[in-house]
Amino acid sequence: MKNLFRFAFFLALTCIIFSGQACNTSSSTDKKDPADTTKKDSSIGEEPKIEIDRKYDDVARILAGMDIDTGSAFYAVTQSASWKAYKKSADAGWAAADARRFKAIRSWAETELADLNKMDGDLFYPFSGPDIYYSYQFFPSAKNYHLYAKEPAGKLNFLKSDDVKWESYYNNVAQTIDDFIAGGFFHTNHMKVDMQANGALPTMLVFLVRGGNKIVKVEPLEIKEDGTVKVSEKGDFSSVRVDFLDSKTKKLKSLFYHSCDLSDEGLRMRPALKKQVESVASNRTFTKSASYLMHVPYFSQVRDLILTKSPAVFQDDTGIPFRYFTEDKWTLTYYGKYNKPIPLFEVRIQKDLYDAYRKNTVKPLNFTLGYHSGSDNDNMIVYKRK
């Protein structure tokens, strides 16, 4: 499967290399790019009419093993026997994961997260890795998604440069996705290797289109001194925005990904980032498989921002310690089972959470995700501010 992944991506991106400045936001408008297939998409209904630059969406779909229409500049890529075999394998993997986990998550979220999905605003997802997939499935009502993680955002020059090791690149993307499909979370040690060279962007593009969405535009960002963002003119960047057309609401949404250190020291070293996080933390918060970082003193600032500002938090035991959610300020709803952390994090056991799961009503969790994936020991809790 990984060899097919690499081959498909090599073909797709080779087409882009020779198609001009696919991601050059300052390119002249009087020089036609042969791969510039911007069009009014007719599949999105009467409202709104949104222009989709197909080169981004087509590349994402090729990466994901999904068909593109015959009018695409890259259609020939999908007609090779190798790509078709890859597509068959990819479709089977995603179909199995959908049957095993994703379908149940969507159904569960419709009922159990209905109140949280009625809230206005965006979604704040610290320690996310490239996981736009779960955040979109759990919170389809969010206007925008803000993801923060240590993994590099990526580079856009892979769309136009011939100085890239395509096979290595595609193999790294494939391994990250394989981990996610198999276990429902990302292996931190794998990500350190998989995303060091090419970042989180390709994986996020795959997740968005596999969620049924259309990629509209991809732009590098930088955070300004006041905490707002602007399009970056730099070749290297630590933040990126992916505009996409939501398949469910037919509305334009944005995914913001920031490669950053959310520790107290990391925020101290980047005052603009701290202002940005302070603003975003006023939204609903989602976190899982977070390595128990907010259990330690040197991640106290991001933890306190969530506790002070967020109207609701949806997390497993790896997020903010249970003891911080006092019943005078929060309404709690328990799901699944809590026994103890996996051996790697056994020192993070929470006796108060253990007792709470045995003293209170606990609702079932009919899917697995996170560190206990497949073990029937997963837990999730909804905390709503009173």
What pLDDT digit, counting tens, does each position of 291-315 carry? Answer: 999 999 999 999 999 999 999 999 9
Q: What is the mean pLDDT of residues 6-20?
A: 38
Per the DSSP assignment, residues forming a β-bridge with 334 are 362, 381
Q: Does any domain span residue 319? A: no
Per-residue burial over 82-119, b = 16 or more CB atoms within 10 Å of its CB, e = otherwise: ebebbbeebeebbeebeeebbebbeebbeebbeebeeb
User: Would you call the peptide bond into 48 cis, given omega within 30 degrees of 0 as the criterion?
Assistant: yes
Q: Which of 181-190, 217-226, 316-325, 372-381 has the lowest mean pLDDT?
A: 181-190
Report the C-alpha gap between 93 and 116 in whole angstroms. 30
Q: Does any domain span residue 367? A: no
Q: Which of 11-15, 46-50, 242-246, 367-371 has the lowest mean pLDDT?
A: 11-15
Q: CB neighbours of 368 closer than 8 A, spacing ≥ 6?
A: 101, 184, 374, 375, 376, 378
Q: Is the pLDDT of residue 43 over 70?
A: no
The answer to whether residues 6 and 12 touch, using CB atoms and an 8 Å cutoff, is: no
Q: Which of 14-23, 89-98, 302-311 has the lowest mean pLDDT?
A: 14-23
Q: Does any domain span residue 307? A: yes
| Chain mean pLDDT for the chain | 82
Domain count of the fold of the chain: 1
Range of the domain at 66: 2-25+34-314
Question: pLDDT > 90: what percent of the chain?
Answer: 54
Q: Is the pLDDT of residue 365 over 50?
A: yes
Which DSSP category does 156 fall into?
A: S
In this prediction, residue 2 has a pLDDT band, given cuts at 50, 70 and 90, of very low
Q: Does any domain span residue 98? A: yes
In this prediction, residue 290 has a pLDDT band, given cuts at 50, 70 and 90, of very high
H helices of the chain, where?
A: 2-17, 54-64, 81-97, 103-112, 114-117, 132-138, 166-183, 188-194, 201-210, 264-269, 271-280, 300-309, 351-359
Q: What confidence tens digit (pLDDT) does each residue in 248-259 have?
A: 888 999 999 999
Q: Does any domain span residue 363? A: no
Per the DSSP assignment, residues forming a β-bridge with 245 are 214, 252
Q: What is the pLDDT of residue 15?
A: 39
Q: What is the mean pLDDT of residues 88-96?
A: 86
The answer to whether residues 104 and 110 touch, using CB atoms and an 8 Å cutoff, is: no
Which DSSP category does 144 fall into?
A: E
Q: What confidence tens digit (pLDDT) does each residue in 183-236 have?
A: 666 655 655 555 666 688 888 999 999 999 999 999 999 999 999 999 998 766
Report the C-alpha gap between 131 and 146 in whole angstroms. 11
In this prediction, residue 26 has a pLDDT band, given cuts at 50, 70 and 90, of very low
Q: What is the pLDDT of residue 250?
A: 87
The answer to whether residues 207 and 130 touch, using CB atoms and an 8 Å cutoff, is: yes
Q: Is the pLDDT of residue 142 over 60?
A: yes
Q: What is the pLDDT of residue 193?
A: 55
The answer to whether residues 4 and 86 touch, using CB atoms and an 8 Å cutoff, is: yes
Q: Does any domain span residue 334? A: no
Q: For the beta carbon of residue 235, count every other beta carbon within 10 angstroms.
A: 9
Q: What is the mean pLDDT of residues 159-171?
A: 45
